[in-house]
Structure 1
Amino acid sequence: MRSESGSVVRVRWRAAVQWLGWEFAAVGRTAGSAVRRSGPERDAMVQSLKAAGAAIAAWALTGWWLEAPLALMAPWTAIALVMSTVYRSLYSGVQQFAIIMVGTLWASAAMAVTGNSTLGAMALTLPFMVLLGNYRRLGSQGIYGATTALFVITYGASTLNQVGHRLLETLIGAVVGVAVNAFILPPVHLRSVRDNLHALARGSGELLAMVAEGLREEEGLARAGGWHDRACRLGQTVQALADARQWTSESYRFNPGWRLRRGSPQPPAEIDAVWERVGAHLVAITRTLQNTAGADARLTSPSYAYLARWADLAENAAAVCNAEADLLEGAGPSQPLRDQRHAALERARIVHEELTTEFQREQGAAIAVGGELVVETQQLLRELADIN
């Protein structure tokens, strides 16, 4: 029993050491990526350093220069307002100052009513402030009301002069945080839209290439469930693309530096809907293939020859998606990539025209499945043709 227990402990210890190794390696990769090239990692590093700088500046103003009695309020507020966009900093700054003002006034009044009793003031203040903090319109700033009230109560501030100091310290911290975010490398989210479009194009191309490869094998349909799962996961990237559009639009608002950091033009917003429909057709195609696989298949699979011919179409459609991904990535001169995309699309159309007659030669219920593949593929090719 002891030897078995010792073995379990050793296995768990090795697993914990291995997990720590993975975590340290991931941290190292992230840090290296932030230093070597621009991207989300570098953006996070810049925003973190800006938040730290804003907190130090707010402390210098209130604690060192003004000698405020509770200077902690200023850096605490400043560090929270260096956010992902200037607009969000301004909007959250107004929310935060309002809720902090309510928390300060309520807690000070509770201290006065209870004769500076810490326990009594908490009993009068915290239930209300925590409930108020859950008010939907206050968003993530609602919690600052309760925490500010705790600072005020534990510090024992109840006079008008002390309340005024708390509000002044908070206001200074808010101004410093917003100013640092707005005027020192103001964040502009430009890469996220292009990155997500690239992920959609590359993911669609890889999926179509995988399906094409599998359909040329005798037992390739056995992997159709995995193809369908991968097609469904493209929907997550579609949602990420929609979020990126919102962040990009928001990052321009009230941002004094966006003209200096615009970079390359953004792909038009209309393209998002095209890729969303491409993803929907891929889901439908892979669902059909999944339903023809296995001993308990719901649908009758077309012949191997027909599926192999459809694989030629999928391979060319994959080439269209991959060429678009290369264009978004800037992997080479644009005109050759556009010509490559156009040629692949034309080849896919030729195969599709042939399949529109070939599916009728299938036997029995397989005709319906072949026809469904033809219809979905026709719509898929139309969407890919709309990508300019």
Structure 2
Amino acid sequence: MPGVSAPVIKAPVVKLVQRTTEPAGVQTLRSTAAAVIAYSLAVALLPQPAPLTAPLTALLVVQVTLYATLTTGIRRVNSVVVGVLIAIGFSALVELSWWSLGLTIFTSLLIGRLVRVDEFVPEVAISAMLVLGVSQVADTAWERVWETLIGAVVGLLFNLVFAPPVWVRSAGSSIVGLADRMGDMLRGMGEEVAGNIPVSRAAARLHEARRLDHDIVEVDASLRQAEESLTLNPRVRQGLLYRVVLRTGLDTLEICAVVVRVLSRTLTDLAKARTEEELFPADVAAPLRQLFGHLADAVESFAELVTTPLAADGEAAEDRLAEALTRSRASRDLVADLLLEDVQEHPRQWQLHGALLAEVDRVLAELDTDERAKRLGEELDRRSAEVHDRRPRLSALRRRLGRRAA
């Protein structure tokens, strides 16, 4: 039936398209295209029947982002050229055997550290082994060098002509995912403040909050890739602004994650001290649950604000954040008054009540829109001054690329 078969046919296609938009999929397609172009050009220009060094070099030079290509391309080319020259020298002196192969690898790794190719030292030995396996290397020495240069030029020009994609959306999705996990955690805490909560359950919530550190590491890696894709990209006019917005947003969420972990610790300590009674009285538990819910809404709205590209949607996200913060502050004041009355009647663990309110205040202070605007301005000024002072030529190149894109 047509109505049944259409989704079955469509689903794999949708998955394939989604995969090709991921960094790994794009890197695979771009590297393959650059290698094929380098090989075809080498076949047309050089007498070698199989100039595989050219696609090898192009494969090593092409990166996901333009910034990575420009910053690491020179070191990659250097590593490949050094490996080729080492293989040429050994092939002219000795035949290929186990001991000559070992000596070639040892020499390549040693020279690779001397020429300062940094993380590409193994590629010196890899290039030397690949070229050493070709018969009569000494007779085709210059051809191998030309193959290497052709592959390097193709790899560099490929990313200059076909600008790599910008990974802002994937980084934004990672930030939103982190905020959603924090929001779910805060709502879960709100559901547990009523009645008696077992210590094991509170400890499990604390362990879950501690795992946020691993999530932050993953989000930071995604954000670093997005920052590289924005740097020197001619398709991006305000790369510095995007980088600062995303980076400061992640910094804020990281601080909030620490506070959430401390908040879980406070609730766990309360659960240990009140094993035979309610964690909070009924008149306090209800507004406290609302407070946690409003905090969750504020964290999620903040993530939506820092990852929204359009001005109109950004204003809507800022309005939602402001409303969530207003509700959170009102609930916080109500809970503070109720906790004060409760502490006066039952002063046990009063310090934990104060710690809970202080942790809520820290989250609200980090998410405050006025403070964020001030922090953004300061960070933009600082980074602009650093780039201009450290790399005046790079600043001029960015301005030139920005004018061309405009």
1:186 alignment counterpart = 164
Q: After TM superposition, what 4+ stretches of structure 1 lie above 6 angstroms from structure 2?
A: 28-31, 260-266
Cα deviation for residue 210 of structure 1 reads: 0.9
1:382 alignment counterpart = 365
Identity in percent: 25
1:176 alignment counterpart = 154
1:58 alignment counterpart = 38
Cα deviation for residue 133 of structure 1 reads: 5.4
The answer (yes or no) to whether the contact 1:63–1:71 under 8 Å persists in 2 is: yes
- Alignment partner of 1:282 out of 230, 237, 260: 260
Query: What one-letter code is carried by the residue in structure 2 that aligns with 1:368?
Result: Q
> Could you tell me how far apart the structure 1 residues matched to 2:347 and 2:91 are?
84
- Alignment partner of 2:355 out of 337, 360, 372: 372
Query: What one-letter code is carried by the residue in structure 2 that aligns with 1:167?
Result: V
1:346 alignment counterpart = 329
Query: What one-letter code is carried by the residue in structure 2 that aligns with 1:96?
Result: R
The answer (yes or no) to whether the contact 2:298–2:321 under 8 Å persists in 1 is: no
Query: What one-letter code is carried by the residue in structure 2 that aligns with 1:73?
Result: T
Cα deviation for residue 169 of structure 1 reads: 0.5
The answer (yes or no) to whether the contact 1:103–1:148 under 8 Å persists in 2 is: yes
How many residue pairs get aligned? The number is 356
1:32 alignment counterpart = 14
Cα deviation for residue 113 of structure 1 reads: 2.5
Other structure's SS at 2:211 match:
helix
> Could you tell me how far apart the structure 1 residues matched to 2:212 and 2:290 are?
22
- Alignment partner of 1:247 out of 211, 225, 241: 225
The answer (yes or no) to whether the contact 2:231–2:239 under 8 Å persists in 1 is: no
Q: Does 1:155 align with 2:134?
A: yes
Q: Does 1:71 align with 2:51?
A: yes
**Superposed counterparts of 1:219-238, under 5 Å:** 219=197, 222-238=200-216
Query: What one-letter code is carried by the residue in structure 2 that aligns with 1:360?
Result: V
1:82 alignment counterpart = 62
Query: What one-letter code is carried by the residue in structure 1 that aligns with 2:37?
Result: A
> Could you tell me how far apart the structure 1 residues matched to 2:12 and 2:107 are?
42
Cα deviation for residue 232 of structure 1 reads: 1.9
2:297 alignment counterpart = 319
> Could you tell me how far apart the structure 2 residues matched to 1:34 and 1:328 are?
29
The answer (yes or no) to whether the contact 2:84–2:127 under 8 Å persists in 1 is: yes
Cα deviation for residue 173 of structure 1 reads: 0.9
Cα deviation for residue 172 of structure 1 reads: 0.8
Cα displacement string for residues 199-241 of structure 1 (whole angstroms, at most 9, x for unaligned residues): 2332222111111012224336642223222322222343344
1:3 alignment counterpart = none
> Could you tell me how far apart the structure 2 residues matched to 1:328 and 1:163 are?
54
Change (3 A) 1:260 1:271: closer
The answer (yes or no) to whether the contact 1:186–1:256 under 8 Å persists in 2 is: no
Cα displacement string for residues 275-305 of structure 1 (whole angstroms, at most 9, x for unaligned residues): 22211111101012223435998xx985443
The answer (yes or no) to whether the contact 1:316–1:347 under 8 Å persists in 2 is: no
Cα deviation for residue 109 of structure 1 reads: 1.9
The answer (yes or no) to whether the contact 1:274–1:383 under 8 Å persists in 2 is: yes
2:106 alignment counterpart = 127
> Could you tell me how far apart the structure 2 residues matched to 1:295 and 1:86 are?
56
The answer (yes or no) to whether the contact 1:130–1:143 under 8 Å persists in 2 is: yes
The answer (yes or no) to whether the contact 2:223–2:246 under 8 Å persists in 1 is: no
Query: What one-letter code is carried by the residue in structure 1 that aligns with 2:126?
Result: T
Cα deviation for residue 137 of structure 1 reads: 5.4
**Structure 2: tracts of 5 or more residues without a match:** 1-9, 374-406
**Structure 1: tracts of 5 or more residues without a match:** 1-27
TM-score (norm 1): 0.77
Query: What one-letter code is carried by the residue in structure 2 that aligns with 1:45?
Result: G
1:209 alignment counterpart = 187
1:358 alignment counterpart = 341
Query: What one-letter code is carried by the residue in structure 1 that aligns with 2:364?
Result: L
Moved more, 103-112 or 171-180: 103-112
Cα deviation for residue 120 of structure 1 reads: 4.9
Change (3 A) 1:107 1:92: same
Other structure's SS at 2:271 match:
coil
- Alignment partner of 1:196 out of 174, 192, 196: 174
1:23 alignment counterpart = none
The answer (yes or no) to whether the contact 2:65–2:229 under 8 Å persists in 1 is: yes
- Alignment partner of 1:45 out of 25, 40, 43: 25
Change (3 A) 1:380 1:337: closer
1:138 alignment counterpart = 117
> Could you tell me how far apart the structure 2 residues matched to 1:249 and 1:228 are?
32
Cα deviation for residue 145 of structure 1 reads: 1.3
Moved more, 350-359 or 375-384: 350-359
> Could you tell me how far apart the structure 2 residues matched to 1:336 and 1:343 are?
11
> Could you tell me how far apart the structure 2 residues matched to 1:60 and 1:270 are?
45
Cα displacement string for residues 331-358 of structure 1 (whole angstroms, at most 9, x for unaligned residues): 8944652453243233333234325523
